[in-house]
Structure 1
Amino acid sequence: MRLLHTSDWHVGRTFHGRDLLAEQEAVLGGLADLVSDERVDVVLVAGDLFDRAVPNAEAIAVCTRVLERVRAAGAQVVVTPGNHDSAARLGLFGGFAAAGGLHLRTRVADLHEPVLFADAHGPVAVYGIPFLEPETARHALGVEGKGHEAVLTEAMRRVREDLAGRAGTRSVVLAHAFVTGGEPCESERTIAVGGVQDVPAGVFAGVDYVALGHLHGQQTLAEGLRYSGSPLAYSFSETQQVKSVWLVEVDGSGLGGVERRALPVPRRLSTLTGELEDLLSDPGHAPVEDHFVSAVLTDRVRPLDSLRRLQTRFPHAVHVEWRPADGRVDELRFAERVRGRSDEEIGCCFLEDVRGEPPNERELLLLREAIAAAAREEAS
């Protein structure tokens, strides 16, 4: 049996305020091509199908079209909710969806009940563990201990107990968690409770393959314990990551092998460093003009309207940071900086802090007029 492990679609997410639905549909639509080309039987989505608990209509439409394409390509789909999803909403009409090959495993009470598939070697049990918010899940599971480790330990105990009664059945688990040894990115929402979010890898012992979700970089913690990562980069910290899915082979003895399959990149990410005018004129930057761009500006004085000006050349520039080449960026310690100073001195200092140079004569005149107008308003 061939399985495709993916996770963290985050359909509906924006990138520094930019809509990503077109890019998401382009990438996720490629999963259907993989299903067809690689003769995939089951697609596993390990959490965070959507980016928010109440996705908008456009995000739902994109997700629906993608899932329809995957089903039309011949694979069944098993989905579990992540920390971004609403399990209740995602599981709505789950019983009807299963009849059409879309298995929504959203109920904590049912996590030990697998979706059963079969190949020439017999049954394969796929257990979907929804994201377990520790405080809520420990009551549902009857666990006294607190934290992610306690609730996932009980969840896996139930899975292994069910599996023990299914002699000769190979097993797969979907889980959305932070497993010790994983490397996080900037784009993930923390799931820490009381400062502790790690779950030891040993919690997942006893099954053939664990399809993990939550971390956005593809990672191998053990041969049968892997993160697929997100299909798109959701922060500039992911620029160097190769976004992929895992193609998992389950044979007669269990896990037969795992291979990486790269996903298409609809728009790449690039970070540029230099003075604004150089970035706008240097022909060497032509290859990244259509990328999502983050710019680190090294001008001695903070350039005005820098993002808009960058977008005249790089229409998908989304982020600007001012970092003067001399390393001088004054920290704003408000209480200390304003103590004993006049309104005019405070205004002048503010301009110098944010721009890197004091106001000129015209700006100083405008500042004085504004201060005088404010004083008249206050007196009246």
Structure 2
Amino acid sequence: MIDKLQAIRRRFEEVSHLIIQPEVMADMKEYRKLSKEYKELEKINEAYKQYENILANIDSSKQILSTEKDPEFREMAKLELEELQEQKETTEENLKNLLIPKDPNDSRNIILEIRAGAGGDEAALFAGDLYRMYQRFAEKQQWRLEIIDFTEGTSGGYKEIICNVSGEDVYGMMKYESGVHRVQRVPATETQGRVHTSAASVAVLPEMEEVDVEINMNEVRKDTFCSSGPGGQSVNTTYSAVRLTHLPTGLVVSCQDEKSQIKNFEKALKVLRSRLYEIELKKHNDEVGAQRKSMVGSGDRSDKIRTYNYPQGRVTDHRIGYTVYNLPIVMDGEIHDFIEALRLADNAQKLQEGTREQA
């Protein structure tokens, strides 16, 4: 571990020097890349400094115990040594977690897609509830959420809603939400009070830039149509809504949120890039078997991951067996505990795999 930390320190010093060079500051793409690396390395470097300081103090306390004759001084040194040993273990654990290879997409913004599944009108209402849950969570994280496209359910909620969420480490936190979410409750239309089970699927895609996913625009068909959602006087009078069809894959993306056709086109293109990236990533993961290894990573959208049981006020995450009995609070956007528990489980699994590989 020390060898890794020393190598990181050398790289941190190198990046610290590079980032203030005029030629780097003039190249925004390179500057952003190095700034991101600097921020990540700085956390590890600071933790390593703290660890070195603890080790130095441990040596000092041991030196006092081996040479000091005064019983009072010896007792103080002994107590300090015990405290320092605890700090050493905690800092080592922190460093191990910091050294786990990060998903390069963790710092990206996301495309969030929520679709009603089995359950008819009730599934659409549940998709609407999930959207509001994520909307509240985004507000708490001070992220920006923008709707790209939506189709309303006949009794409320959404058959489908697609959003762009931007902010700090959005994908790193939200990637654990991908999969099938299941609800168990008595629908408003149920006359005999029976509990029904419905579902909605959530897909969390890292937002890709033009440099990450290259699209041949000759393979994309662009159609325009009148918006049907909010938009003032321009609704149903101008062809501002945009539909993109990627001919090689058959992927179709629509956007009608903006009054401007150009802005709708740009948003639709973002979604298309992210979906194409997802297809390529799945191919790669299938080849190397990475998805089979990861228990709680950016899960497959067909996996059932969580159940929201209204009669019991219970929310259960099936991947790690984590249950809470505060459903109304969870639906109000308090999902941080779930994300933290999943992140810890994911890191523990990666650490275990890393230990096996070294053995």
TM-score range, shorter chain: under 0.3
What is the TM-score of this pair, normalised by structure 2?
0.22
What is the TM-score of this pair, normalised by structure 1?
0.21
Higher helix fraction (1 or 2): 2
